[in-house]
Amino acid sequence: MQKNQLALVVENEVNAVAQNTLESVLNDVIEIMESFEKSFIMGAISQKGGVGKSTIIYQIAVMLANLGFKVRLFDCDTQQTLQHQWKKRYEYKKQEIGLIKQAKEELAKKVADGKLNDYFRINSEKSIAKREERLKAVSSIDFANHNPEVDFSEVIKTSADFDIVLFDTACHLSEAQSRLLYVCDSVVIPFNNSDDEFDTNVRVKKFIQDEKVNAAENDEVITADIRSLIIDRPNTSKDRTEYVSSLWTDYGYQKTHGLLESRLTNRQIYRDVKNYGLGVAELDSPAGEVALLEIATVFKEMLISSNAKKAKKAKAE
Ligand SMILES: Nc1ncnc2c1ncn2[C@@H]1O[C@H](COP(=O)(O)OP(=O)(O)O)[C@@H](O)[C@H]1O
Ligand SMILES: [Mg+2]
């Protein structure tokens, strides 16, 4: 076997392993989502801006839409990060439709003029078909902008037809963010894994603690399973990982909110896809698959730990 052939075999095997893992996590996500009797409600909050709320919400939304779920996405941030992304998504779609049409016309003209041999014609057709296929993967999501003052419960009442409703919020702990705790099955709080940013967790802890007191005083129920999500640098050491997890147990953070075991890595691809309003689930690239596996793994953990799952279980027993 020649060296380059061997390289191809190895590459295919590596891809097959990655594919299996991704496929199995996605299958688990589908299975858990389908076991819920009502729409899954989730939101992202944080004390600090620029930590990755909009990114995780958008990536989960696009992933689920591509799996065939009915997704409703609310941008409740007055900065409207997601709305910008949403516009880019439509621009991308529109532009790509135009470009494909143009490529088809050019090809037809060359063929009609007898200027193209079969080899080039077949390959051009294949490439156009691939682009059309890719465009089909840009799935649709019900997207809405919302004032942070909106009554979340009312909005959720009108969203019963959706499999999932996601809320993206502005970058500070606010009244809107506390109200989300009462309507969501799961709330995620991303934070960057660095010493500088760890302090935001102190405020988050206080915020949730206070809200739990409020809930008890007002006879209300916080429905959300609340979990922090670490956004890791790619080279985070094992020591650092253990240190942060120990802070959770040693400093009592887990009394107010959990820490997701799965993490997101700081990856260029998350920034790149933003320019087109795409999700990593819509890319046809190894980097996209690695990122998708990460998103799917985080989301699966959120589903499992969420109270939606527990409610369903309790009913079945
Ligand atoms: N895991 C990640 N890897 C790399 N860049 C990220 C990641 N998460 C977010 N970003 C980038 O960081 C910036 C802020 O992210 P964003 O999701 O808008 O944060 P927030 O909504 O909390 O303000 C954006 O430019 C985004 O592309
Ligand atoms: Mg945001």
pLDDT at 315 over 60: no
- DSSP character string of the chain: --HHHHHHHHHHHHHHHHHHHHHHHHHHHHHHHHH-SS-EEEEE--SSSSSSHHHHHHHHHHHHHHTT--EEEEE--TT-HHHHHHHHHHHHHHHHHHHHHHHHHHHHHHHHTT---HHHHHHHHHHHHHHHHHHHTS---EEEE--TTS-HHHHHHTTTT-SEEEEE--SS--HHHHHHTTT-SEEEEEEESSHHHHTHHHHHHHHHHHHHHHHHHTT-----EEEEEEEE-TT--HHHHHHHHHHHHHTTGGGT-EE-SS-EE--HHHHHHHTTT--GGG--SHHHHHHHHHHHHHHHHHHHHSHHHHHHHHHH-
**What protein residues have CB closer than 5 angstroms to ion ligand 2?**
53-54, 81
Task: For each of the domains in the chain, give its residue range(s) and CATH number, in order of start.
Answer: 39-316 (3.40.50.300)
Q: What is the pTM of this model?
A: 0.89
CB 303 within 8 A of CB 39: no
pLDDT at 202 (0 to 100)? 87
Ranked by mean pLDDT, which of 77-86, 141-150, 212-221, 239-248 comes out on top?
212-221
- 46 CA closest ligand 1 atom index: 22
pLDDT at 19 (0 to 100)? 64
pLDDT at 213 over 70: yes
Q: Is the dihedral of CA 233, 239, 240, 244 positive or negative?
A: positive
Q: What is the mean pLDDT of residues 55-72?
A: 96
Question: Closest Cα to atom 13, ligand 1: which residue?
Answer: 50
pLDDT band at 62 (very low <50, low <70, confident <90, very high): very high
pLDDT band at 239 (very low <50, low <70, confident <90, very high): confident
pLDDT at 312 over 60: no
pLDDT at 278 (0 to 100)? 95
Share of the chain above pLDDT 70, in %: 91
Ligand nearest to the CA of 291: 1
- Average pLDDT over all residues of the chain: 89
Output the CA–CA distances (angstroms, integers) from residue 53 to 225, 249, 294, 311, in the order listed. 16, 24, 15, 26
pLDDT at 10 over 70: no
Q: How far is the CA of 7 from the centre of ligand 1 (A)?
A: 35
Q: What is the mean pLDDT of residues 279-304?
A: 95
pLDDT at 308 (0 to 100)? 81
**How far is the C-alpha of 74 from the C-alpha of 180, rounded, in Å?**
12
pLDDT at 8 over 60: no
- Nearest one of 208, 243, 247, 250 to 225, comparing CA atoms: 208
- Nearest one of 186, 175, 189, 148 to 47, comparing CA atoms: 189
pLDDT band at 4 (very low <50, low <70, confident <90, very high): low
Residue to mutate (ligand 1; options 55, 77, 275; most atoms within 8 A of CB): 55
Looking up tokens 């779609």, which residue turns up?
93
pLDDT at 254 (0 to 100)? 80
What is the per-residue pLDDT across 161-209, written as a single tens digit (0 to 9) for each?
Answer: 999 999 999 878 888 899 999 999 999 999 999 888 888 888 899 999 9
- 190 CA closest ligand 1 atom index: 22
More confident residue, 254 or 301: 301
pLDDT band at 292 (very low <50, low <70, confident <90, very high): very high
pLDDT band at 38 (very low <50, low <70, confident <90, very high): very high
What is the per-residue pLDDT across 117-134, written as a single tens digit (0 to 9) for each?
Answer: 899 999 999 999 999 998
Q: DSSP class of residue 50?
A: S
